[in-house]
Amino acid sequence: GAVVSQHPSRVICKSGTSVKIECRSLDFQATTMFWYRQFPKQSLMLMATSNEGSKATYEQGVEKDKFLINHASLTLSTLTVTSAHPEDSSFYICSARDHMGSDTQYFGPGTRLTVL
Amino acid sequence: QKEVEQNSGPLSVPEGAIASLNCTYSDRGSQSFFWYRQYSGKSPELIMFIYSNGDKEDGRFTAQLNKASQYVSLLIRDSQPSDSATYLCAVRKNTGFQKLVFGTGTRLLVSP
Beta-strand pair B106-111/B11-14: parallel
- Label residues A22-45 b or e (16+ Cβ within 10 Å = b): ebbbeebebbbbbbbbbeeeebbb
Interface check for B55 against chain A (CB to CB < 8 A): the answer is no
Is B31 a residue whose pLDDT tops 80? yes
CA A8 – CA A4 distance, rounded (Å) = 13
Residues B47-79 have pLDDT tens digits of 999 999 999 999 999 999 999 999 999 999 999
- pLDDT band for position A54 (cuts 50, 70, 90): confident
CA A49 – CA A70 distance, rounded (Å) = 10
Nearest to A109 by CA among A10, A43, A13: A10
Nearest CA in chain B to A1: B46
How much helix, strand and coil, in percent to the nearest 5, is found in chain B? 5, 55, 45
Contacts of B39 in chain A (CB under 8 A): none
Is B98 a residue whose pLDDT tops 90? no
Selecting from B42, B49, B105 the residue whose C-beta is nearest the C-beta of A43 gives B105
Selecting from B44, B49, B98 the residue whose C-beta is nearest the C-beta of A107 gives B44
Mean pLDDT of the region A39-47? 90
Sign of the Cα torsion A80, A83, A88, A91 reads positive
- A106–B46 CB contact, under 8 Å: yes
Is B107 a residue whose pLDDT tops 90? yes
Is B97 a residue whose pLDDT tops 80? no
- A105–B88 CB contact, under 8 Å: no
> For residue B70, with 0-12 CB atoms within 10 Å meaning exposed, 13-18 middle and 19 or more buried, which class applies?
middle
Selecting from B96, B100, B105 the residue whose C-beta is nearest the C-beta of A105 gives B100
- 3-class secondary structure, B82: helix
Contacts of B99 in chain A (CB under 8 A): 34, 46, 49
Residues A59-113 have pLDDT tens digits of 999 999 999 999 989 999 999 999 999 999 999 999 998 877 667 889 999 999 9
DSSP A62-115: --TTTEEEEEEETTEEEEEE-S--GGG-EEEEEEEE-TTTT--EEE---EEEEE
CA B38 – CA B110 distance, rounded (Å) = 15
CA B25 – CA B6 distance, rounded (Å) = 9
A41 Cβ contact list (under 8 Å, min separation 6): none
- B43–A34 CB contact, under 8 Å: no
Q: B21 or B31: whose pLDDT is higher?
A: B21
Interface check for B34 against chain A (CB to CB < 8 A): the answer is yes
- B97–A49 CB contact, under 8 Å: yes
Query: Smallest CA–CA separation between A101 and chain B, in Å?
Result: 13
Quick one: pLDDT at residue A98?
84
Interface check for B69 against chain A (CB to CB < 8 A): the answer is no
